[in-house]
Amino acid sequence: MAKRIQFSAVGGPEVLEYVDFTPSDPAAGEIQVETKAIGINYIDTYVRSGLYPVPCLPSPLGNEAAGVVRKVGAGVTAVKPGDRVVYALAALGAYSELHNVSIEKVALLPDSLSFEQGAAAFLKGLTVQFLLRQTYSVKAGEIFLFHAAAGGVGLIACQWAKALGARLIAGVGSEQKAALAKNAGAWATINYRQENIVERVRELTGGEMVNVVYDSIGKNTWEDSLNCLKRRGLMVSFGNASGPVTGVDLAILNQKGSLYVTRPALNGYITNRAELQAASDELFGLIADGTINVAVPAAQKFPLAEAKRAHQLLESRQTSGSCLLIPG
C-alpha cells in the first residue's frame, strides 16, 4: 500500500482526499518512481476544479515530481533502479508516494540538483524554455511584458530573460511581488492594483509598446495585453488564472494592428524524449551554474497529506515562486 491524493468530485480544494492505494507494477515502457518531492502547478487546480476534465472519478492528481526509480517495465533501457529522475506532463498521479510514469516523460536528474530543485523547476522551467526560446525567441535588449512574474514560472522567466540580456517588464499584484520580480532580474514592474498596465508599458517603451506579451492570467488581462502590443505583435496566452478567455472576436486582432495570438502548451513543443532531453539540458545547465535559482521557501513546502492547504494558499495568490508537496 501507498498514499496518494485523489478527488471523487470536482470543485475547490476541499474535494482533495488523502487515501491509501495499491500501486501496480509498471507496464512496458514505464518506470515506477518513489517520490521525493512533488511540484504543485496551477494546472492542477484546473484539473481539480473540472476546467480540464478527467476521464473518470475518483481521479489522482499532479503530473510533476522527482524521485528514485524503483522498478522498470519491459523495454526500458534509458534508466535503471536507483537512478535519480524527474518528470513532468506524465499521466495524473504525481501527488503520490509511488507513481508509474512513461519513460518518454522522464529525464535523469543531475547529481548537482536536489530532488526539491528538480520538482520545483522542471515543468515551470521547461515552460519558460519553450516560451522564451521557441514560441518567440526573445533577443538581447528587447523589452517585453510577462504577467504573473512573481509566480513559479514568472520568477524563472525573470532570471532567464536577464541571462538573455532582455528587458522583462514584470506584471505583479503587490509591491512585495514587485520586489521579488526585480530581485530575480526583471527590468521593470507593473503593479496591477496601483498602475494602468497599458499606460505603464507605453511609458517604459517610449510609446513603442512591445513585440510580445506572455499572459497566464487570462480573462482579466486579455484586453490590456492586446493593447500593449506593437503592430503585428504576438500575444502568447498560456494560462487562465483569472478564468478562460472566451468569445474572442478575431476582427479585434485586425483593428489593433494585424496582431498574432497563440495558445501554446508544453506538449506541443516537447513531443519525444530527444526534445525533452535538449530542453532539460539547457534548463539544468542554468540551474547548476547559478543563473537560475529555484529555492522554495519553507512556508511553501507541505506534507503530501496537506495538499488541500497547499491548493488554498496557491489560489489565494499569496505564494511566490514554486510550491512543493513532500511525501513521508
What is the per-residue pLDDT across 245-304, written as a single tens digit (0 to 9) for each?
888 889 999 999 999 999 999 989 999 888 998 999 999 999 999 999 988 889 999 999
Q: Which three cell numbers stand for residue 292?
A: 537560475
Cα 221 from chain centroid?
19
pLDDT of residue 273: 84
We find that the CATH architecture of domain 2-121+267-326 is Alpha-Beta Complex (3.90)
pLDDT of residue 290: 93
pLDDT of residue 101: 97
Buried b (16+ CB within 10 A) or exposed e, 236-272: bbbbbbeeebeeeeeeebeeeeebebeebebeebbee
In the chain, CATH 3.40.50.720 sits at 140-264
Question: The domain 140-264: what is its CATH number?
Answer: 3.40.50.720
pLDDT of residue 240: 82
Which residues of the chain, if any, have pLDDT below 70?
Answer: none
